[in-house]
Structure 1
Amino acid sequence: MSDIVTHRFPADGPIGLTVEQRSGDVVVTAADDATEILVELRPAGHDGEDLAHRTLVEHRPGALRIEVPRTTSLLGRSASVDITVTVPTGSRVDAQAGSGDLRLDGRFADVAAKCGSGDIAVDTCDDLQLSTGSGDVYVTETAGARVRTGSGSIRFGTAGGTVELESGSGSIDVEQPLSSGRVSAASGDIRLAAVDGRVELKTASGDITAHRAVEGELRARSASGNVTVGIVTGTAANLDVSSISGSIHSDLDHTDAPAATDRALLLSITTVSGSIRLHRTT
């Protein structure tokens, strides 16, 4: 078993961390009680230990850079290094990975990350910019976000501000109420737990589901995908709904004007061949 290569540096506050990974996982932990920056390089594969020792680990006040050099495989045996870093809470991260996964545990400031075929998981941050090819994305909480995947799926938790989520063939799930954002997928489905602001949803063939539309403005567009929206009881919905060849079904009662105590929702839905269903929910 190859030895772990370890680097330690003093820490007196949040830093800016830059990581350039080729093949291998990256795990960054933001710790409230971090008194030092800890870097651990775990070799794997043929010549992995040599690669770990050749990996650039450069520290200067307020910043840390880790760069794994490029390698060439020998008879199908390629070297790789898994990177584990502990930094102070509130640090910034800018990371790139080829075929490895990226995981960020703890609370960070701004995060920018790009993976080829690896997954990205982020705990909590202020602002988020993520891109993956075939990897999935998991986000627990952020103020604002721009996330794009090719064939990967997106699972999103709490958004304090505006989010832009885009996927090619992967599904998109937003598990907490969304107040401001644009969500689009080509053949993947979009599922939102709740909408309470201005939100735009768009798919080509994927289905769209908004389980609870509370208030605000919800616009949904799909070509062949079905659209289902649950309007919360006590919310008055102003509807602009149409489909060229798809069916439209609504459980909503028709009223001339909403009551003064009603919440207001502007709901605009358009499909080509996809069906549309509106229903009441609690």
Structure 2
Amino acid sequence: MNTTPSPAAPAVTDPPAVSSRFSTPAPISALLLVPAGRIEVLASDRADTTVEVRAVDRVKKRDVKAAQQTVVEYTDGVLRIEVPTGVQLMGPSGSVMVSIRLPSGSHVDAKVDSTDLRCAGRLQTVTFDGALGTIELEEAAGARVTSAVGDVTVGRLAGDAHVSTAQGDIRIDEAVRGRLILRTQVGSVSVAAPAGVSVSLDAGTTVGRIRNALENTGGTPAVIIRATTVKGDITARSIRKERSGS
């Protein structure tokens, strides 16, 4: 009887991340050219910017190659991250996971094909132009989003916003000021403002309901909302924050 143990299968190791770090004592602008994958941005009080790029699927050679070839540059306050697409004769480019940590108040400009964008912390303006992707912003001074398919969620908005998607829901949890143009063809629109803020609403839907529960619509509006959808509901409401210790 052969009692020689079989050789152990080689361990599968994660390909190393492409990592970069830059000194950024002030807010920066980030230009993100990521055709496919996920982008996560964390803004906080810090004096540097770090970037990590990984393959979304470590066993897919296309993803690994895309991560390894990603260009990360920083010059004169501008961070540029570009995943080269090349000549796509063999199909779409690989998918990468990009993690960015940068100073609060920075600008983010994402130009993508099929990429999700999630931003935590306080940002200045966020621009997203893509065909497919879910967009989640915790806090921004302004936003401009154009997408064919994908939901858009903003936690706190402190300025103008133009959000347009052919298919997807749009939700603004708290708009404190600015002009908001919110358009979707198939999807619902929901926007809220603090109870003490004057708001004007111009809403229209072809198939759906409009619910206006705004409490303060008199005086000069601090928030101007223009919301439209072809198929979906539109909801606008005032929110009252609980006092601490109550």
**TM-score of Structure 1 vs Structure 2, range by shorter chain:** 0.7 to 0.9
Structure having greater relative contact order (Cα 8 Å, sep ≥ 6): 2
Counterpart residue identity of residue 15, structure 1: I
Q: Which residue of 2 aligns with 1:198?
A: 200
Q: CA deviation at 1:61?
A: 2.6
Cα deviation code 1:17-48 (max 9, x no counterpart): 1001111001111111x232101001133232
Deviation at 1:73, TM superposition (A): 7.3
Aligned residues: 213
Other-structure match for 1:147: 163
Identity %: 32
Pair 78,59 (structure 1): closer, same or farther in 2 beyond 3 Å: closer
Which residue type is aligned with residue 176 of structure 1? Answer: A
Aligned to 2:213: 211
Deviation at 1:55, TM superposition (A): 1.2
Report the residue type matching 1:95 in the other structure: A
Are 1:38 and 2:50 matched, yes or no?
A: yes
Q: Deviation of residue 175 (structure 1)? A: 3.2
Q: Is the 8 A contact 2:198 2:217 kept in 1?
A: yes
The aligned counterpart of 1:23 is 36
Which of 100, 106, 117 aligns to 2:132? It is 117
Cα displacement string for residues 75-121 of structure 1 (whole angstroms, at most 9, x for unaligned residues): x7962211111111111111122112001111111211123211001
Runs of 4+ in 1 over 6 A off after TM superposition: 217-230
Give CA deviations for 1:202-253 in whole Å, capped at 9, x if unaligned. Answer: 11122111134443399999999999999xxxxxxxxxxxxxxxxxxxxxxx
Which structure 2 residue ranges, 5 or more long, are not aligned?
A: 1-13, 220-224, 238-246
Are 2:172 and 1:156 aligned?
Answer: yes
Distance 1:10 1:168, change over 3 A: same
Aligned partner of 2:108 in structure 1 is 93
CA distance 1:203–1:58, shift in 2 (3 Å): same
Looking at structure 1, the residues matched to 109 and 30 of structure 2 have their Cα atoms a distance apart, in angstroms, of 6
What CA distance in whole angstroms lies between the structure 1 residues aligned with 2:168 and 2:71? 30
User: Residues 220, 47 of structure 1: CA spacing in aligned structure 2 closer, same or farther, 3 A cutoff?
Assistant: closer
Q: Deviations over 1:139-190 (max 9, x none)?
A: 01112211111111011112122211111011111133599xxxxxxxxxxx
Change (3 A) 1:117 1:20: same
Matches for 1:195-274 after TM superposition, within 5 Å: 196-216=198-218
**What letter is aligned with 1:18?**
L
Does the CA contact (< 8 Å) of 1:23 and 1:100 recur in 2? yes
User: How far, CA to CA, are the matches of 1:118 and 1:30 in structure 2?
Assistant: 21
SS state at 2:37 partner = coil
The reply on whether 1:175 has 2:192 as its aligned counterpart is yes
Quick one: structure 1 residues 92 and 163, their matched pair in 2 at CA, closer, same or farther if it must change by over 3 Å?
Answer: same
TM-score (norm 1): 0.67
Answer yes or no: is the 8 Å Cα contact 1:20–1:95 preserved in 2. Answer: yes
Query: If you compute each CA radius of gyration, which structure gives the higher value, 1 or 2?
Result: 1
Question: C-alpha distance in 2, partners of 1:90/1:164?
Answer: 23
Instruction: Provide TM-score, normalisation by structure 2.
Output: 0.76
Cα RMSD, aligned residues only:
3.1
1:12 aligns with 2:25: yes
